Amino acid sequence: MQQIDFHKLLQEFVFNPKEPMIFSSGFFLFLFLGFIAVYSIVYKHNTLKNIYLTLFSIFFYYKSSGLYFILLLITAVVDYNLAKQIARTEIKQRRTFFLVLSLVVNIGMLIYFKYTNFFLSIFYDLANKPFDPLNIFLPVGISFFTFQSLSYTIDIYRRNLEPVKNISEFAFFVTFFPQMVAGPIVRASVFLPQVRKTPFVSKADFGKAVFLICIGLFKKAVISDYISLNFVDRIFDNPGLYTGLENLFGVYGYALQIYCDFSGYTDMAIGIALLMGYKLPANFDSPYQSASITEFWRRWHISLSSWLRDYLYISLGGNRRGKIRTYINLMITMLLGGLWHGAALRFVIWGALHGIGLAFEKFINSIIRIPKTKLTRILGVIITFHFVCFAWIYFRADNIDVVKAMLTQITTDFHSEIIADFIKGYPYVLLLMLLGYILHFIPSGIENHVQQLVIKSPFVLKVAYLVVIVFVVIQIKSSEIQPFIYFQF
């Protein structure tokens, strides 16, 4: 009988930067089964449940970012106490001071970890001096949990929310592991009322959770990871080696990859939360079915776009100060949204493109009344999709030279005659891309019907669905763990 290597087993519980904790890993599945067994015992005892889930969430983040879990604790302690001070005082200057302090702490952490090297590189470029980047580790999901915590202090400042009575509730909210590292960004007003209640998982909730976890695993570990490793990454690593046709499909592939990767995480996060009795907001709604850029941002990363709208765009004045100011506010919001995604010029350009697209749509709609027909809808979807794909090139490319190379190949070296050889060379990649886009564009009614079939299935069959998906993932996945794309943001 083979003995268990306890030392190797214990090492699994220690942070490994090469293998961050992700939902699609075998270790998480093993850990979650143990976690849920204990959770099923303590969930009716509110204080004990909150402490247990918070401690597990902190460990989950430790497995993702090591000792930087301390940042989570700092965020929770600072914003909890500052929010209490904001709620206590009626003096506007004092309330504003405490809010600004919260902004300084949270945005300050973001600036240091994400943007120090970016700003230093700009300074050194202007000074015409060589720059050696500082060795600064980027904690996973720092943009998500800082924005989430900020929504709490801002809502209390606006008198839209009452502060929590104890720090354990707030720590639970900030550290909740399913959505902590890659969203959705949950508002305190939505989540905190659930923290105070005894969780309840109905049959429908359990079935929906199984459906979301299965579909999320399939999107991430089957479609996204496979087309990324076997096609998309190769194109973006060296676009000059491939024809324009291959580059174009590389762009289409990345559009599908990032959607399946990010929405796959969100599906699993919402599903895992549902298994514990907590409801998280939707973060995606078939975004490539959008007929305009405005509609796209109502369907893509909904929690971030709504956060930017409510806490930045509206604070800047929104559309209340005339057309020119509206266009400026849109540009500022999208530029900062681009910068939120990463400290590089390409992200700023990506944000600028979407800002220009939103402003242009508002301008056109103010002078022309476009008839709403099936044809205009289809044309709108095609144009919007290709605009979004064009912008994705800047988002994915390592630098502007890669962007130039891809666009050059697509516009000057297309070679459509190799289409047959291209299909023969990448049959499984193209098959998964076709499947991914078909699943994305199927009517919502069909998806809801499949979800209802899963919900109505017997418990044994629900477990079987999960087992089958896990088996498929094991057969297809690569030997190395592929972190979620949005972990870097």
> What mean pLDDT do residues 105-121 have?
88
Q: Label residue 480 by pLDDT band (50, 70, 90).
A: low
pLDDT at 181 over 80: no
Let me know if residue 2 belongs to a domain.
no
Interhelix angle 69-88/46-65, rounded to 10 degrees, is: 130
Indicate whether 375 and 314 sit together in one domain. yes
- 273 and 321 in a single domain? The answer is yes
Range with the lowest mean pLDDT among 127-141, 418-432, 466-480? Answer: 466-480
Rounded CA separation 360/357 (Å)? 5
CA–CA separation, 349 vs 35, rounded Å? 43
Residue 182 sits in the same domain as residue 275: no
Residue 10: what residue type? Answer: L
* Predicted pLDDT at 396: 93
Q: 192-249 pLDDT, tens per residue? A: 888 888 888 888 999 999 999 999 989 988 899 999 999 999 999 999 999 999 999 9
> Higher pLDDT residue, 31 or 483?
31
Q: Does residue 327 lie within any of the structural domains?
A: yes
Residues 147 and 59 in one domain: yes
> What are the tokens at 272?
């895992």
In a domain, 9, yes or no: no
pLDDT at 155 over 90: yes
Amino acid at 421: D
Q: What are phi and psi of 212, to 5 degrees?
A: -65, -40
Instruction: For helices 244-275 and 203-217, give the axis angle rounded to 10 degrees.
Output: 150
8 Å CB contact between 121 and 133: yes
Condensed to tens digits (0 to 9), the pLDDT of residues 303-362 reads 999 999 999 888 888 778 778 888 899 999 999 999 888 888 899 999 999 999 999 998
Q: Are residues 362 and 329 in the same domain?
A: yes
Catalytic residues: 341
Placement of tokens 């709620």 in the chain: 87
Residue 395: both structure tokens together: 């988002």
The rounded distance, in Å, linking the Cα atoms of 296 and 284 is 10
pLDDT tops 70 at residue 7: no
Q: How far apart are CA 295 and CA 358, in angstroms?
A: 10
117 confidence band (pLDDT: 50, 70, 90): confident
Q: Is residue 3 part of a domain?
A: no
User: Which burial class, exposed, middle or buried, applies to 253 when counting CB atoms under 10 A from its CB (0-12, 13-18, 19+)?
Assistant: buried
Q: Quick one: DSSP state of residue 287?
A: G
Cis before 133 (ω within 30): no
Q: Check whether residue 77 and residue 210 sit in a common domain.
A: no
Supply the mean pLDDT for the chain: 88
Query: Quick one: average pLDDT of 420-427?
Result: 93
SS3 298: helix
Q: pTM for the full model?
A: 0.91
State the Cα–Cα distance between residues 411 and 44, nearest whole angstrom. Answer: 62
Residues 113-131, mean pLDDT to the nearest whole number? 85
The verdict on 348 and 472 lying in the same domain is yes
Instruction: Show which of 171, 195, 219 is a domain's final residue.
Output: 195
Residue linked to tokens 């044309």: 379
Q: What is the pLDDT of residue 290?
A: 96
Q: Is residue 282 located within the same domain as residue 214?
A: yes
Selected residue with higher pLDDT from 136 and 24: 136
> Does residue 6 form part of some domain?
no
**Same structural domain, 323 and 342:** yes
Q: If you ran DSSP here, which 8-state letter would residue 445 be given?
A: H
How far is residue 384's CA from residue 390's CA, in Å, rounded to a whole number? 10
Burial class (CB in 10 A: 0-12, 13-18, 19+), 394: buried
In a domain, 84, yes or no: yes
Looking at the 3D structure of the chain, how many domains does it have?
A: 2
pLDDT value at 414 more than 50: yes
Residue 135 shares a structural domain with residue 34: yes
Q: How far, in Å, CA of 175 to CA of 351, rounded? A: 28
Show the domain range for 245: 203-488
Instruction: Select from 173, 195, 217 the last residue of a domain.
Output: 195
CA atoms within 13 A on the CB side of 341: 22
**pLDDT for residue 3:** 55
- Asked if the model's pLDDT at residue 182 lies above 80, the reply is no
4 within some domain: no
**pLDDT at site 483:** 67
Confirm whether 400 is domain-assigned. Answer: yes
Eight-state DSSP code of residue 198? P
Clarify whether residues 247 and 180 are in a common domain.
no
Tell whether the model's pLDDT for residue 119 goes beyond 80.
Answer: yes
Strand, coil or helix: 369: coil
Among 174, 195, 216, the domain boundary falls at 195
Q: Which residue has the higher pLDDT, 461 or 383?
A: 383
Looking at residue 1, its pLDDT comes to 44
Predicted local confidence at residue 486, as pLDDT: 66
């961050």: which residue's tokens?
A: 20
The crossing angle, in degrees rounded to 10, of helices 345-367 and 323-341 is 150
DSSP string computed for 311-352:
IIITTTTTTSS-HHHHHHHHHHHHHHHHHHH-SSHHHHHHHH
Q: Verify that 333 and 482 share a domain, yes or no.
A: yes
- Give residues with Cβ within 8 angstroms of 75, minimum separation 6: 105, 106, 109, 145, 146, 149, 174
The 3-state DSSP class for residue 5 equals coil
Please state, for a pLDDT cut of 90, what percent of the chain lies above it.
49
